[in-house]
Amino acid sequence: MYSKLSESILWDKMEEYYKHFGPSLWQTNIVPYAISSSKILAQTYANMIVANLQDYLNDQGKSSPSESIYILELGAGHGQFGYYLTEKLISQFKTLTWSTEYIKYVLTDISQENKNSWAQHPKFAPLIKQKNMDFATLNPLQGGHFTTDLQKFEFKDGCTNTPLFVVGNYFFDSLKQDAFEIQNHEINEVLIEVDANGPLESIFQQSNYKFKRNAITPKNYYKNHHLNSILEYYKSNLEEGSFLIPIGAINCMENLSNLSNTNVTFLVGDKGETILDALSNVSDPEISQHGSMSMMVNFHSLEQYFNISEGLAITTKNTSENFQLAFFCNRHSYPMLHTKYAFNNLLSITSPDDIYNLFYTNYNELIDYKSLDQYIALMKVSNWDPNLLYEISEALNNLLEDADVVQDNTIYNGLLKIEKYFFKVESDADIYFEVGNLFYTMSRYDDALRLFQFSDKFFPENKEIQYNLALCYEALGNIDFAKTAVEKCLRDNPAYSLALELEKDLLSEY
Tell me the sheet residues that pair with 488.
none
What radius of gyration do the chain's Cα atoms show? 25
Long-range Cβ contacts of 145-149 (<8 Å, 24+ apart)? 146/108, 148/106, 149/115
By the 8 A CB rule, do 438 and 419 touch? Answer: no
Distances (CA, A) of 415 to 34, 268, 374, 380, 430: 19, 29, 16, 11, 14
pLDDT at 32: 47
CA 263 to chain centre: 24
HEC profile for 178-246?
A: EEEEEECCEEEEEEEEEECCCCHHHHHHHCEEEEEEEECCHHHCCCCHHHHHHHHHHHHHCCEEEEEEC
Distance in angstroms (rounded) separating the CA atoms of residues 279 and 509:
72
Residues 6+ apart with CB under 8 A from 287: 10, 209, 293, 294, 295
Tell me the sheet residues that pair with 137.
109
Element (H, E) at 25: helix 24-27
According to DSSP H, which parts of 386-430 are helical? 386-399, 405-421
Tell me the sheet residues that pair with 174.
none
Span 140-188, pLDDT tens digits: 999 999 999 999 999 999 999 999 999 999 999 999 999 999 999 999 9
Task: Count Cβ neighbours within 10 Å for each residue of 55-83 and write b for 16 or more, e otherwise.
Answer: bbbeeeeeeebeebbbbbbbbbbbbbbbb
Backbone phi, then psi, for 199, in 5-degree steps? -65, 155
Distance in angstroms (rounded) separating the CA atoms of residues 242 and 244:
7
Tell me the sheet residues that pair with 165.
71, 265
Sign of CA dihedral 358, 287, 223, 164: negative
CA 302 to chain centre: 20
Report the C-alpha dihedral over residues 456, 460, 464, 465, rounded to 10 degrees: 10
Element (H, E) at 498: helix 497-509
Distance in angstroms (rounded) separating the CA atoms of residues 411 and 130:
31
Distance in angstroms (rounded) separating the CA atoms of residues 281 and 245:
16
Backbone phi, then psi, for 478, in 5-degree steps? -95, 75
pLDDT at 293: 81
Tell me the sheet residues that pair with 180.
189, 243
pLDDT at 1: 86
Residues 6+ apart with CB under 8 A from 66: 102
Q: Give the closest residue to 316 by CA, choosing from 335, 302, 336.
A: 302
Q: Give the closest residue to 114 by CA, choosing from 215, 227, 31, 184.
A: 31
Distances (CA, A) of 400 to 286, 390, 396, 410, 441: 45, 15, 6, 12, 7
Distance in angstroms (rounded) separating the CA atoms of residues 460 and 177:
44
Backbone phi, then psi, for 314, in 5-degree steps? -130, 125
Q: How many other C-beta atoms lie within 10 A of the C-beta of residue 402? A: 9
pLDDT at 259: 97
pLDDT at 66: 96
The model carries a pTM of 0.91
pLDDT at 425: 85
pLDDT at 509: 80
For the chain, give the longest Cα–Cα distance.
88
Q: Give the closest residue to 329 by CA, choosing from 14, 48, 31, 27.
A: 48
Q: Are strands 365-366 and 360-361 parallel, antiparallel or unpaired?
A: antiparallel
By the 8 A CB rule, do 221 and 247 touch? Answer: no
By the 8 A CB rule, do 114 and 156 touch? Answer: no
DSSP 260: B
pLDDT at 13: 84
Q: What stretches in the chain show pLDDT beneath 50?
A: 29-33
Q: Are strands 324-329 and 312-315 parallel, antiparallel or unpaired?
A: antiparallel
Instruction: Tell me the residue type at 157.
Output: D
pLDDT at 31: 44
Report the C-alpha dihedral over residues 353, 356, 360, 363, rounded to 10 degrees: -50
pLDDT at 231: 97
Backbone phi, then psi, for 364, in 5-degree steps? -135, -25
